[in-house]
Structure 1
Amino acid sequence: MSRTLYLECYSGISGDMTVAALLDLGADQQVLESALKSLPISGFDIAISRVKKAGLDVCDFQVILDHDNRDHDMAYLHGEHHHPHSDGHGHTHDSKTVHHHPHQVKKTHAHDHRGLPDIVGIINQAQITNHAKALAIQIFSIIADAEAKAHGVDRELVDFHEVGAVDSIVDIVAVAVCLDNLDIREVIVPEVYEGRGFVRCQHGTIPIPVPAVTHIAASHQLNLHIISAEGELITPTGAAIVAAIKTSDQLPKQFTIEKTGIGAGKRTYDRPSLLRAMLITDKTQKQDCIYKLETNIDDCGGEILGFVMERLFEAGARDVHYNPVYMKKNRPAYLLNVICTKADIATMEQIIFEETTTIGIRRIQMESTGLKRTVKKIKTSLGEAQVKVCELESGMRIYPEYASVVELCEKHRLAYQDVYHIIKKECEAAEGIRDGELVELNRFELPLSS
């Protein structure tokens, strides 16, 4: 059963903070360790521990590299203008720190500069689920687009000398694996807090929020909340994670908390560096809301589209249909429409992205009204048949189920319409249908699209 995650980003967000919060929330540590060991890269180790932040016992995830990394070097990042603040109770690792040594027979080196295709190749070789691979690649793609815009180059020319370093690969893959392990498909992020001032990077001193973060926030409509604290609270990796996984920025009016996890950050500002993650249950969720996913496709063959429809139905889509449309440059194309529940959105979108050439999907929430209906079985002169009984104020309507009609057609070698009308007529004449004596097979709790 998929779950809903609420991320509370009052201290910003980064890759390591997210991994730590998800581990504290219950993600399987052994699954994560196995996944990271399968990465075809070297030059890193990880440490998972319990630390104290503002007196709270929280989880810490650290990527330990065999080369210098100034990502958490406050003197380097902010120079002489930075005045470190204490968390009150410090940030100390206890004796539970666990070090992991991935296999040393690897194909790449920690200091390599990589493009997006190189990153994708590394992720695809990891022994993780397809869903985790797709999410990790999506996060890196968001960063690539933002860096390309910030530096004024094509996406293919972005050199991941910073965000593509080993620690970022490990952080992003770890986030994807933990989210997949927790079966999280809905993520609510109302806002993300960010500081102000300047921060030093390889290119020099740049303003906060850094350009990559501003481009991600603009492209993916992240709600930023700038506070008076001086310092970079949102890293490009953290912003890309939110952009990739956020499904809503609105908390339910009422919800219960199933579990809470807190991840520690490494940087020290005027507030504790903490990311709190909560698994929640919406107590106000309406049962009559459905979603429509739609996308325009002009470069897919009919056989592919037919296969996509089969996969979507098998995965639980309420309805799938195509409309012929004309796109830009008068190209004949198809508009794919998928009707599904909120819980199935991520599954449906993954299938569409995997099986078609589309690069974007529109998501529309709709309220649905449906008749109360019950599927029952009735004995007819032709044999047993299933019927759908729909209730109206003026009475009931009977609809023989397609599978039953076909089965009796083949059995008696009769035409479809003849069998359909025989079943319907005999069912309507049966006293039992009014008295509720027929055997009930299934009562739908939600209105269907048909």
Structure 2
Amino acid sequence: MSRTLYLECYSGISGDMTVAALLDLGADECVLERTLKSLPVKGYDTRISRVVKSGLDACDFAVNLDKEHENQDHNMEYLHGHDSHGHKIQTHHHEHRGLPEILEIIHACDMTDRAKGTASRIFEILAKAEAEAHGVPVEEVHFHEVGAVDSIVDILSVAVCLDNLDITEVIVPVLYEGRGTVRCQHGILPIPVPAVANIVAAHRLPIKITGIEGELITPTGAAIVAAIRTSDRLPDRFMIERTGLGAGKRQYEGPGLLRGILLGEDLPEKESEEKDVICKLECNIDDCSGEALGLTMDYLFEAGARDVHYTPVYMKKNRPAYQLNVICSVTDTQKMEQIIFANTTTIGIRRVEMQRSVLKRELKTLETSFGKLRYKICRAGEQSKVYPEYESIACLSRQYKISYTEAYQLALTCYKKETEL
């Protein structure tokens, strides 16, 4: 069963804040510890603790570096360029790792394939953004932001915790960022820093600049959102299964908290019967091949579309075309639109949310003298309608060399016989 995570980024987002929020949501610390023990990287240890931020109890995930690997990411005086006496703060030279080395490290860790895939996507997004910022190919990116030990630990930990919680959908409506400048490994830079700006632009992440002086979105935080976000919209109504608070390290005017919310299974059954909301997407396409349209339909169904169909239409100047219609859940809207834009020539999609009335339904598999047959059973009050599933009918038809209609009637007969016993 899929689980949906909603991230509130009013105080921005960073790697350690995300790990802490996921741990507070119930991610297994022992699973995370096992993965980190298998990490072929030295010079650090981790600490999970409880802290109070703005009067609220929150989880804190800290990566403690030894002197050789320490950085100034959480040193507020360094971030502004000088200490309290006006003296410049000295920094250490760090071991720099490129993307190929990072991917090798991920592959060597004790974690699931899904977690490895998530961690790899995050690093690939981060490396591409940094490569664009510095004007070099991705393969040549070797610098602190990608290779630092704390970045590696944070990103792997996020991937492991998401996998452990079985998160399949992530909703992030908007990212909140501060303003001004911040001191980085490459000098004093404007906020948002180039890597964050590149990620936000490339992945179309909504961003809102606040009045807070300081960097709220780190490159790692932006890359995490870009890699895992599946929607920017909350459903109209939902149940809250659990909340988690992740604490940030930097001291700014805001609370420095990232809240994660696990959304429950929608509404109680009675209310769900009264209101079922879906989204309808449609667009007109007059310059796309039939093969491309067919493949687009396959992709949409694979991504979870409820229904997809094309209707022949005539557009302006009597041009023959097709109207694409997609029915999907509201939370899948953005994913469906991305598939349509990527695989067709359309430049605009119409979208409308609709209420519908649906019968209760269930899928049932019966063991019959002809093998296992699957049925869809729809109920309306005391009445029920039984529909043999297509794949079962097609299998019967091929196996016994009979027509589809004959196989359909045979399946219905089997159902009545088995349920009357």
Scaled by the length of structure 2, the TM-score of the pair is 0.70
Amino acid at match of 1:416: I
Alignment counterpart, residue 200 of structure 2, candidates 217, 236, 239: 217
Structure 1 residues 162, 316: CA separation in 2 closer, same or farther (over 3 Å shift)?
A: closer
Query: Which one of the candidate residues 62, 70, 73 is aligned to 1:71?
Result: 73
Shift of 1:112: 2.5
Report the 3-state secondary structure (helix = DSSP H, G, I; strand = E; otherwise coil) of the residue aligned with 2:145: coil
Question: Is 1:377–1:384's contact at 8 Å kept on the other side of the alignment?
Answer: no
Structure 1 counterpart of 2:103, one-letter code? V
Instruction: Spell out the pairing of 1:296-375 with structure 2 (5 A cutoff).
Output: none
SS of residue paired to 2:6: strand
Q: Please, what is the CA RMSD of the aligned residues?
A: 4.6
Does the C-alpha gap of structure 1 residues 127 and 361 become closer, same or farther in structure 2, counting only changes over 3 Å?
farther
Aligned to 1:354: none
Matched, 1:40 2:40: yes
Alpha-carbon distance in structure 2 between the residues aligned to 1:426 and 1:148: 63
For 2:132, the equivalent position in structure 1 comes to 149
Partner of 2:152: 169
Per-residue CA deviations over 1:118-163 (Å, capped at 9, x if unaligned) read 0000001000000000000100000011001111111111113333
Give TM-score scaled by structure 1 length: 0.66
Question: 2:225 aligned to 234, 242, 245, which one?
Answer: 242
Q: Aligned equivalents of 2:376 and 2:52: distance in 1?
A: 61
Aligned counterparts of 2:387 and 2:213: Cα–Cα separation in 1: 68
Change (3 A) 1:426 1:147: closer
Structure 1 counterpart of 2:61 = 61
The unaligned stretches of length 5 or more in structure 1 are 83-109, 292-304, 321-337, 346-359, 442-450
- 2:381 corresponds to which residue? none
Task: Determine helix, strand or coil for the equivalent of 1:416.
Answer: coil
Deviation readout 1:239-268 (Å, 9 max, x if unpaired): 001111111111122222111110111100
Q: 1:239 to 1:398 in 2, by over 3 A?
A: closer
| Contact 1:196/1:230 (8 A) holds in 2 | yes
Work out the CA distance in 1 between the residues paired with 2:157 and 2:163. 10
Determine if contact 1:263/1:275 at 8 Å carries over to the other structure. Answer: yes
The letter for the 2-side match of 1:24 is D
Q: Output the CA distance in 2 between the equivalents of 1:80 and 1:193.
A: 26
Runs of 4+ in 1 over 2 A off after TM superposition: 79-82, 160-163, 281-291, 315-320, 338-345, 364-378, 382-391, 396-410, 414-417, 420-428, 437-441
User: 1:116-155 residue pairs with structure 2 within 5 A?
Assistant: 116-155=99-138
Inter-partner Cα distance in structure 2 for 1:31 and 1:70 = 29
Which amino acid counterpart does residue 247 of structure 2 have in structure 1?
A
In the TM superposition, residue 190 of structure 1 has moved relative to its aligned partner by 1.0
Post-superposition Cα deviations, 1:58-111, rounded to whole Å, max 9, x if no partner, equal 1100001113310011111113599xxxxxxxxxxxxxxxxxxxxxxxxxxx94
Is residue 2:166 matched to residue 1:180? Answer: no
Which residue in the other structure is 2:186 paired with?
203
Contact 2:234–2:331 (CA<8 Å) still a contact in 1?
Answer: no
Whether the aligned pair in 1 keeps the contact of 2:276 and 2:357 (CA below 8 Å) is no
Name the structure 1 match of 2:173.
190
Alignment of 1:51 with 2:34, yes or no, is no
Check whether the contact 1:119–1:164 (CA below 8 A) recurs between aligned residues: yes
CA distance in 2, matches of 1:266, 1:252: 32
Residue ranges of structure 2 left out of the alignment (5+ in a row): 85-92, 282-294, 309-325, 334-341, 379-384
Whole-angstrom CA distance in 1 between matches of 2:376 and 2:46: 59
Distance 1:173 1:163 in 2: 13
Counting matched residue pairs gives 353
Alpha-carbon distance in structure 2 between the residues aligned to 1:405 and 1:203: 64
CA distance in 2, matches of 1:387, 1:47: 51
Distance 2:377 2:165 in 1: 39
Identity rate of aligned residues, in percent? 56
Matched, 1:415 2:410: no
Change (3 A) 1:384 1:179: closer
Instruction: Describe the superposition over 1:158-185 as per-residue Cα deviations: whole angstroms up to 9, x where unpaired.
Output: 1133332110000000000001101111
Residues 391-440 of structure 1: per-residue CA shift (max 9 Å, x gap): 9xxxx997785546655875xxx5333xx444556789x8x99xxx6656
Aligned-partner Cα distance in 2 for 1:113–1:376: 56
Opposite residue 77 of structure 2, the aligned amino acid is A
